Structure 1
Amino acid sequence: MAILDKIILKRLSYVIYEHPDISRFDQFAKDFGFELSWTSPNNDIFYRGYGIDPFCYIARQAPEGQGKKFHGVGFIAKSAQDFQQACELPGAEVVNVTGRPGGGKMASVTDPNGYIIEVIYGQEDRPIPTKAISNVHDGLPNTNGAIEKKRKGIFNRLNEGPAMIHKLGHFGYITDNYVETCVWYTSHFNFKPTDIVGKGDGSGTDLMSFYHLDLGAEYVDHHCLLLASHDSNGKGTSVHHSSFEVDDLDTQMMGHRWLSEKGYKARWGVGRHIMGSQLFDYWVDTTGFVIEHYADGDVVNEDAPTIRSVGTPASIWGPPVPVWE
């Protein structure tokens, strides 16, 4: 399928999770750096960052007697035509989203592993922020390098509190249906692999792919979707993590300190990834889902080639990779 035939998605917007104890998660969400956007009549909680998305996380109460569940994600369609194409996908359903923050229209489709992909068009964005929300006091320059001294006569002071979220950056899941899943996303939508990591045993088998949205000359995040293959013993499909952008390393570290002092469980970090270059900090929420703060990620456009590698470590520096339960 040529790029002209694909549904062009403008950006990743939000994730949807179901929690057995949504009120307990609500306190974690605030400590993680989300702000309340809206509570729906059926008590779904919509959280936002300070970016343009009216919400970037939907938390739902899981049905009684059922456990946690990753429900799916929402993307913004680039045009009315792209939205119409999404409505015409096999199994697509047009859903009334009247009352949601930002409004608009929504088409819902299920991917090969049962996750819901919601495609939104006509949503009213929040204003573009004029500056980031940092834990650096008053947003003053705080880095004095060996040669360039930005902080002249100014002392470096940091504010206590959560690392405030800007936006949803990416989500990822791990599956035993890797090849079909990659084909489905790349054939229907404008996903393009930035990095593909192979097994490294000479078999030519791919282990994971980092996908960005191909918007031509426009720069976008290194990846908004990570698909990884189970090892030979893994079965089924499960969400790996969702990742939310914060402004800078100091903000990330103050957020780490805040979450640690609140007694939440750190998962992995702080460190620096190779794929995407992000500063990462993974946590476990009160339901058991892995959620990440990141800062300082790479951006790419149509000029960036797809890079293939084998046996690439997960980080440049940072703690050893934990066993992912």
Structure 2
Amino acid sequence: MSGPLGHGADATTATAHQDLHSEQGAVRGEHPGRSRNPVIKVADLAWLEFEKPDLERAEVFARDFGFQTAARGESELWLRGSFAGSPCMVIRRGRTSRFVGPVFRAAERADLDRLARATGAAVADSDVPGGGKGVALLDPSGFPVRVVHCAADLPALPEQRPLPLNFGTDHRRTNATQRPPREPSRIQRLGHVVLETRVFGRALDWYLDTLGMIVSDFLFLDGQRERGPTMAFIRCDRGSVAVDHHTLAMHLGPGTGYVHSAYQVTDLDALAAGGEYLGERGYRRSWGIGRHIQGSQLFDYWRDPDRFMLEHFADGDLFSSDVEPGWAPMSASGLAQWGPPATRDFLGTNPSPAKLRELLHALRGDNELDPARLLGLLKAMNS
């Protein structure tokens, strides 16, 4: 794949960032954040694929977190939100708990043929409820990535209604109390997935060149901006249609794997009351409640029984394709506008023998992590 300067920068990507979502825009010669001629442009993230030994335990957490079951078999569990469309997640029975990979939704069926021709892959049947077709790929990090076109959408389900709020002299609620029920946050849809990779630059270019995604924000290490970004918040390109600030986020690190996934709920009350419900049932909050900077989402992070991190979010930014990438330094304190400090659990900085082995392996491998990068990352996570 072409490097950071190989995508080409036109007038659209050369304009100033104008402080829309991080501190400044790009300077001349930096990564433009999009490909000039991608193979296809995916429309959204469809679902995520996991394997777990205990599907019964996984389904109990899923319901407590706010998912509903779309389909259940002996060896797989399909989970969904309340919005019409595809499921959010499939969990297949496996010997160990692991993240398999993301699945993206093609804008139209013909995109699968175009993608297959360009990559040498085949178009095959998809096992999604309702049927469909898909193309299986492998990204530079080694993640299996599928692109699918579903034959039928799941119907919409009843929603949690947003609570009417009073603002100053704008009184929308009179002679009525607020009593949000203590119940699971009702998941509406899958929002994004965050991945860690040792080959950040190669993986970034692959998603831009192959799937037509575009960057909303870049983060760089303090004092190392000239070496390029080390994290990117990436959205789908649907032209004038505004979409989530990020559908995929990736950052450079010593590991290769899943970091977290995020699921939209109705509003802050649904997020907070659902968090109380989870806490009462013994689940552990990883970080929250707060509001992010890149993406602006209200957030609350939890660990499932297999220690996968999942996020409830509400009120995220929506960008059309003409919004340029922002550039900002990477830091733990820069992850939120307000809320408690980011925890060591969320940042993945809890010391352990496994972490040490991961660091040593990364420094010896053929990847983009070197001692200067590693020290910069450690500094960022403590700043």
TM-score when normalising by structure 2? 0.77
The residue identity in structure 2 corresponding to 1:34 is F
User: The residue matched to 1:14 in structure 2 has which SS?
Assistant: strand
Counterpart for residue 18 of structure 1: 51
How far 1:5 moved relative to its partner? 4.3
Residue identity (%): 31
Mapped to 2, the partners of 1:28 and 1:187 lie a distance apart of 37
How far 1:311 moved relative to its partner? 3.7
User: The residue matched to 1:114 in structure 2 has which SS?
Assistant: coil
Counterpart for residue 148 of structure 1: 170
The residue identity in structure 2 corresponding to 1:30 is R
Counterpart for residue 363 of structure 2: none
Mapped to 1, the partners of 2:200 and 2:98 lie a distance apart of 20
Task: Give the 5 Å matches for 1:154-173.
Answer: 154-173=176-195
Structure 2 counterpart of 1:216, from 234, 239, 245? 239
How far 1:270 moved relative to its partner? 0.6
Counterpart for residue 280 of structure 1: 299
Structure 2 counterpart of 1:82, from 111, 136, 142? 111
Distance 1:91 1:116, change over 3 A: farther
Counterpart for residue 258 of structure 1: 277
Counterpart for residue 45 of structure 1: 77
User: The residue matched to 1:251 in structure 2 has which SS?
Assistant: helix
Mapped to 2, the partners of 1:74 and 1:168 lie a distance apart of 11
The residue identity in structure 2 corresponding to 1:171 is V
Mapped to 2, the partners of 1:117 and 1:260 lie a distance apart of 33
Counterpart for residue 144 of structure 2: 116
The worse-fitting range, judged by mean Cα deviation, of 109-118 and 313-322 is: 109-118
Mapped to 2, the partners of 1:5 and 1:241 lie a distance apart of 27
The worse-fitting range, judged by mean Cα deviation, of 79-88 and 2-11 is: 2-11
The residue identity in structure 1 corresponding to 2:152 is E
Q: Do structure 1's residue 206 and structure 2's residue 229 form an aligned pair?
A: yes
User: The residue matched to 2:119 in structure 1 has which SS?
Assistant: coil
How far 1:140 moved relative to its partner? 6.3
Mapped to 2, the partners of 1:161 and 1:128 lie a distance apart of 20
Mapped to 1, the partners of 2:200 and 2:137 lie a distance apart of 19
The worse-fitting range, judged by mean Cα deviation, of 15-24 and 266-275 is: 15-24
Mapped to 2, the partners of 1:123 and 1:273 lie a distance apart of 36
User: The residue matched to 1:73 in structure 2 has which SS?
Assistant: strand
How far 1:119 moved relative to its partner? 1.1
Distance 1:146 1:273, change over 3 A: same
Mapped to 2, the partners of 1:44 and 1:52 lie a distance apart of 21
The residue identity in structure 1 corresponding to 2:166 is N
Mapped to 1, the partners of 2:229 and 2:267 lie a distance apart of 32
Mapped to 1, the partners of 2:72 and 2:54 lie a distance apart of 15
Counterpart for residue 296 of structure 1: 315
Mapped to 2, the partners of 1:211 and 1:124 lie a distance apart of 27
- After TM superposition, what 4+ stretches of structure 1 lie above 2 angstroms from structure 2? 1-6, 86-98, 126-129, 139-142, 202-205
Mapped to 2, the partners of 1:305 and 1:95 lie a distance apart of 36
How far 1:56 moved relative to its partner? 0.7
**Count of aligned residue pairs for this structure pair:** 310
The worse-fitting range, judged by mean Cα deviation, of 292-301 and 4-13 is: 4-13
| Contact 1:37-1:54 at 8 Å conserved across structures | no
Mapped to 2, the partners of 1:97 and 1:189 lie a distance apart of 19
The residue identity in structure 2 corresponding to 1:56 is C
| Contact 1:271-1:316 at 8 Å conserved across structures | yes
1:279-305 deviation line (CA, Å, top 9, x unaligned)? 111001111111111111000002211
Mapped to 2, the partners of 1:280 and 1:199 lie a distance apart of 24
Counterpart for residue 338 of structure 2: 317
Q: Do structure 1's residue 59 and structure 2's residue 91 form an aligned pair?
A: yes
1:231-259 deviation line (CA, Å, top 9, x unaligned)? xxx2x301100110001000000110000
The worse-fitting range, judged by mean Cα deviation, of 218-227 and 78-87 is: 78-87
Mapped to 1, the partners of 2:330 and 2:99 lie a distance apart of 29
What runs of 5+ residues in structure 1 fail to find an aligned partner? none
Q: Do structure 1's residue 193 and structure 2's residue 215 form an aligned pair?
A: yes
Distance 1:170 1:301, change over 3 A: same
- Normalized per residue, the structure richer in strand is 1
Distance 1:5 1:196, change over 3 A: closer
Structure number with larger C-alpha Rg: 2
TM-score when normalising by structure 1? 0.90
Mapped to 2, the partners of 1:271 and 1:108 lie a distance apart of 37
Mapped to 2, the partners of 1:244 and 1:161 lie a distance apart of 16
How far 1:128 moved relative to its partner? 5.5
| Contact 1:141-1:150 at 8 Å conserved across structures | no
Mapped to 1, the partners of 2:245 and 2:221 lie a distance apart of 21
Alpha carbon RMSD of aligned pairs, Å? 1.8
Mapped to 2, the partners of 1:270 and 1:70 lie a distance apart of 25
| Contact 1:93-1:109 at 8 Å conserved across structures | no
Mapped to 1, the partners of 2:309 and 2:162 lie a distance apart of 32
| Contact 1:28-1:286 at 8 Å conserved across structures | yes
Counterpart for residue 106 of structure 1: 134
| Contact 2:125-2:131 at 8 Å conserved across structures | no
What runs of 5+ residues in structure 2 fail to find an aligned partner? 1-6, 8-34, 349-383
How far 1:167 moved relative to its partner? 0.5
